[in-house]
């Protein structure tokens, strides 16, 4: 039998109908993009509707141009993919299939392991400590490394000073997955101007509320981006559809709106943390739009099943060390109140 058939694929969170259920399991932004921006996108799609019969721009230069202006970085240093998963897959295939060992954390984005097995990459696991933190001194300088910062599923972040030390001391490739950075912290993209062996991966799926459009990107030096484009064009020359390319410029220019959304999410997070602590839940300190929780007095599996029956979905992991934890995406205020009240009802049973 083909060995590919034996690979355990990435298992995404359940995707219940978001209009019929309270979906707090896949870390989407609970707030949609500004209505005026959505109307502008619809207007442009209607205007350019006759071009849908044509292939999209294979270079996605409309998106690259907007990202270039927003981050003040030249377009040769930008790679666009069909969501950050597509970008990450390209990186694993392009750079990690070599003799160097790839290091990754034992608690990290589980898709990394799927890529490792699919592309037959040599790797080693770095264990984070009991407080879900990592000692950067234990990370070797001359092996490839991938980190999601802030971390998923824990929500914890390596502080900026430690990250700068880690980056400046690297002798091999370092990939920093910044999927959740915009919810609270600043990106480290300026450091790619100093170090040529760093790739920063970002997405519009979470903070920018565009998970449905599938737009991810990488920022690095020109030679790395050139190699990534060669891989892309050997697999799929047209990863980004026309509607996605039209939409991005309207979303990027409306950053003030999303900064207001960030404040709302932060307040909602404080609300849910305060109430869950009253119910004796342990909450891991989070720098993101989600929290990782557990309660020694409760069976987390039973809690998740109970919530599902009430059409509320949070994320449960079958992963060592966090098998008794659940992850909650921070929703709107009314969502957080409903979740807390439903958990209270479960505890009363």
Q: 281: number of CA atoms within 13 Å, CB side?
A: 27
Enclosing domain of residue 140: 54-252
Name the domain boundary from 252, 271, 294.
Answer: 252
Report the alpha-carbon distance of residue 22 to residue 339 in Å, rounded: 9
Whether 215 and 246 map to the same domain: the answer is yes
**Per-residue confidence band for 193, with pLDDT thresholds at 50, 70 and 90:** confident
Q: How many domains does the chain have?
A: 2
- pLDDT of 37 over the 80 cut: no
Arithmetic mean of pLDDT, 315-337 = 95
Whether 222 and 273 map to the same domain: the answer is no
Q: Residue 262: what pLDDT?
A: 94
Q: Which of 138-142, 170-174, 195-199, 269-273 has the lowest mean pLDDT?
A: 138-142
**Location of structure tokens 């392991």:** 113
DSSP-assigned letter for residue 124? E
**Per-residue confidence band for 257, with pLDDT thresholds at 50, 70 and 90:** confident
Bond from prior residue into 267 cis (ω within 30 degrees of 0): no
Report the alpha-carbon distance of residue 231 to residue 247 in Å, rounded: 25
Whether 239 and 267 map to the same domain: the answer is no
Whether 230 and 86 map to the same domain: the answer is yes
* Per-residue pLDDT tens digits for 107-158: 999 999 999 999 999 999 999 998 898 888 888 888 899 999 999 999 999 9
- pLDDT of 6 over the 70 cut: no
Q: Residue 31: what pLDDT?
A: 93
Interhelix angle 35-47/242-252, rounded to 10 degrees, is: 140
Whether 163 and 123 map to the same domain: the answer is yes
Whether 220 and 209 map to the same domain: the answer is yes
Whether 169 and 286 map to the same domain: the answer is no
Q: Residue 331: what pLDDT?
A: 97
- pLDDT of 7 over the 70 cut: no
Whether 230 and 318 map to the same domain: the answer is no
Domain of 263: which CATH number?
3.90.1150.10
One-character DSSP codes across 6-68 = GS----PPP---TTTSEE-SS---SSPPPHHHHHHHHHHHHHTGGGGGSPPPTT-HHHHHHHH
Domain of 173: which CATH number?
3.40.640.10
Q: Quick check: is 8 in a domain?
A: yes
Whether 242 and 119 map to the same domain: the answer is yes
Q: Which of 38-42, 102-106, 335-339 has the lowest mean pLDDT?
A: 38-42
Name the domain boundary from 199, 227, 252.
Answer: 252
Whether 241 and 297 map to the same domain: the answer is no
Q: Residue 235: what pLDDT?
A: 95
What is the share, in percent, of the chain residues with pLDDT greater than 70?
94
Q: Quick check: is 39 in a domain?
A: no
Whether 98 and 174 map to the same domain: the answer is yes
Q: Quick check: is 42 in a domain?
A: no
Name the domain boundary from 252, 275, 290.
Answer: 252
One-character DSSP codes across 56-113 = PPTT-HHHHHHHHHHHT--GGGEEEESSHHHHHHHHHHHHSSSSSPEEEESSS-THHH
Report the alpha-carbon distance of residue 229 to residue 233 in Å, rounded: 6
Report the alpha-carbon distance of residue 268 to residue 163 in Å, rounded: 28
User: Residues 225, 77: contact at Cβ < 8 Å?
Assistant: yes
For 103, 164, 225, 348, the CA distances from 197, given in Å and listed in that order, are: 15, 13, 11, 54
Q: Which residues contact 64 (CB under 8 A, 6 or more apart)?
A: 75, 78, 80
Of residues 318, 335, 317, 337, the one with CA closest to residue 327: 317
* Per-residue pLDDT tens digits for 273-287: 999 999 999 999 999
């Amino acid at each position: 039998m083909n060995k590919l058939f034996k690979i355990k694929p990435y298992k995404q969170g359940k995707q219940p109908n978001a209009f019929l259920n309270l979906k707090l399991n896949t870390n989407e932004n609970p707030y949609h993009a500004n209505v005026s921006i959505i109307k502008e996108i619809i207007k442009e799609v209607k205007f350019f509707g006759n071009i849908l019969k044509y292939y999209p721009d294979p270079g996605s230069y409309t998106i690259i141009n907007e990202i270039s202006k927003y981050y003040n970085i030249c377009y040769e240093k930008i790679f666009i993919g069909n969501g950050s998963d597509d970008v990450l897959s390209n990186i694993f295939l392009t750079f990690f299939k070599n003799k160097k060992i790839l290091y990754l954390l034992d608690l990290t984005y589980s898709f990394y392991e799927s890529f490792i097995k699919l592309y037959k990459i040599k790797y080693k696991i770095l264990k984070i400590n009991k407080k879900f933190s990592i000692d950067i001194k234990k990370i070797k300088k001359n092996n490839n490394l991938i980190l999601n910062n802030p971390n998923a599923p824990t929500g914890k972040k390596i502080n900026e000073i430690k990250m700068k030390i880690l980056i400046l001391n690297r002798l091999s490739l370092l990939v920093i997955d910044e999927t959740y950075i915009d919810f609270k912290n600043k990106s480290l993209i300026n450091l790619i101007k100093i170090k040529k062996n760093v790739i920063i991966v970002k997405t519009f799926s979470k903070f920018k509320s565009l998970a449905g459009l599938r737009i991810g990107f990488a920022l690095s030096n020109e030679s790395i981006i050139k190699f990534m484009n060669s891989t892309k064009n050997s697999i799929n020359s047209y990863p980004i559809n026309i509607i996605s390319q039209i939409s991005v410029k309207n979303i990027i220019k409306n950053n003030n709106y999303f900064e207001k959304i960030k404040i709302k999410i932060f307040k909602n997070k404080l609300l849910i943390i305060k109430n869950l602590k009253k119910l004796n839940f342990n909450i891991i300190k989070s720098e993101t739009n989600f929290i990782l929780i557990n309660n020694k007095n409760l069976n987390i599996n039973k809690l998740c099943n109970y919530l599902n029956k009430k059409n509320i979905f949070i994320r449960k992991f079958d992963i060592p060390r966090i098998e008794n934890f659940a992850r909650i995406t921070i929703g709107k205020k009314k969502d957080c109140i409903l979740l807390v009240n439903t958990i209270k009802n479960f505890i009363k049973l």
